[in-house]
Amino acid sequence: MAPITNGRTLFNEIPSGFPEPGKTTVYDTSQTIDLENVPLNGGVLVKTLVLSADPYMRVQMRPADIESYMVIFSLGVGKVIRSEREGFKAGDYVYGLLDHAEYSIPSPDVPIFGIIVFKPEPGLRYSAYIGAGGMPGQTSYYGWKEYANAKAVCYLLSHVFLDLSLSAVFLQGETVFVSGGAGPVGSLVIQLAKQDGLKVIASAGSDEKVQFCKDVGADVAFNYKTTSTLDILRKEGPLNIYWDNVGGTTLDAAIENAANHARFVECGAISQYNSKDGVKMKNLDQIYARRITLYGFLVSDLAPKWQEEFYKVIPKKLASGEFKFTEDVTNGLENSGQAIRDVQTGTNTGKKVIVVAQE
């Protein structure tokens, strides 16, 4: 078989604000690949099926001397074409870090997100493994299990004469606020919190996204672009838990409305990734006054402890429909630069999935 074009998306220039397709990233078709003869050197040749566009990709578009710089690659799902590696065979589905290329020879040896063979849960499309069934879902599950310490308080109410036959049990959970509630991370956090019996407040950036937050169980959901976050939190708080996907002024508003001993799960700060100016925080003194604990974490830190349990529990719940998720599909690797930008500007509605090829 003659060599064929191997399209790739390349990191070209450090953005000064939002990434710009064609400038900060470029699509390149100059490389060819001979699928039958390309040397594998003990590795695995993978055809890319779907790739993820994630918020963290903007943070990694940095000068090379700043830690965590990298070129364009992300989590994805592919199919093995040829393998010289034990444990991988032609036809296997793999999940893990893949180049933004139609074909690649990814390493299984990258810590945590090196490629692994997986069998999609019956009824669950493989693209789910880059969203709620993959790294974003793992982020929600690990962070929630490790740090939320969620309490659904159980009250036994008895008749005034203490006639226990007239008793009733009421569950009144703590209150959690989830920003970025409509994305793959936030929407799974909402569902985990509801499962734990909590009252959930969620924010998102469009009415359609607000509706999705409600559809997955949020008791209160609002559009932070048209409604004051402070007003909602003053009315619906105080917050026992804040799941922070956005940082900035939303974090400041959450601190102002925190209950004593609140837990803040610091997952991300997307409002800051494309900004050079930072935000003036007004309420930092309340962290000590209200004895708030902030937990910053990266999903990779917690994977050794929670990954096995995640794969046992979450894909089944997604396949059965008990947990809901949405995808926003971009077709064609040549459009991956735009997909990366969409996630930063918030025009994605659901997990941004780049479909590179059909099987």
**Closer to ligand NAP by Cβ: residue 99 or 327:** 327
Distance CA 274, CA 59 (A): 8
**Per CB under 6 A, which region of 87-95, 106-114, 202-210, 278-286 contacts ligand NAP?**
202-210
CB-CB contact of 207 with 223 (8 Å) = yes
Pairing of strands 116-118, 93-99: antiparallel
**Listed residue (88, 96, 134) closest to 112, CA to CA:** 96
**Backbone phi and psi for residue 100, each to the nearest 5 degrees, phi listed first:** -75, 75
Exactly one of 74, 104, 271, 336 binds ligand NAP (CB under 6 A); that residue is 271
Residue 210 β-bridge partners: none
CB-CB contact of 77 with 35 (8 Å) = no
Contact pattern for ligand NAP over residues 291 through 320, marking x by CB under 6 A: ------xxx---------------------
Exactly one of 270, 303, 339, 356 binds ligand NAP (CB under 6 A); that residue is 270
Taking the complex as a whole, the smallest distance from the CB of residue 271 to ligand NAP amounts, in Å, to 3
Contact pattern for ligand NAP over residues 3 through 42, marking x by CB under 6 A: ----------------------------------------
Q: Does 56 bind ligand NAP (CB under 6 A)?
A: yes
Question: Which positions from 121 through 140 interact with ligand NAP, judged by CB under 6 A?
Answer: 136, 139
Distance CA 205, CA 219 (A): 17
CB-CB contact of 225 with 216 (8 Å) = no
**Listed residue (235, 209, 237) closest to 224, CA to CA:** 209
Q: How many residues bind ligand NAP (CB under 6 A)?
A: 29
Site residues (vs ligand NAP, CB under 6 A) = 54-56, 136, 139, 180, 182-186, 204-206, 209, 245-246, 267-268, 270-271, 297-299, 343, 346, 348, 351-352
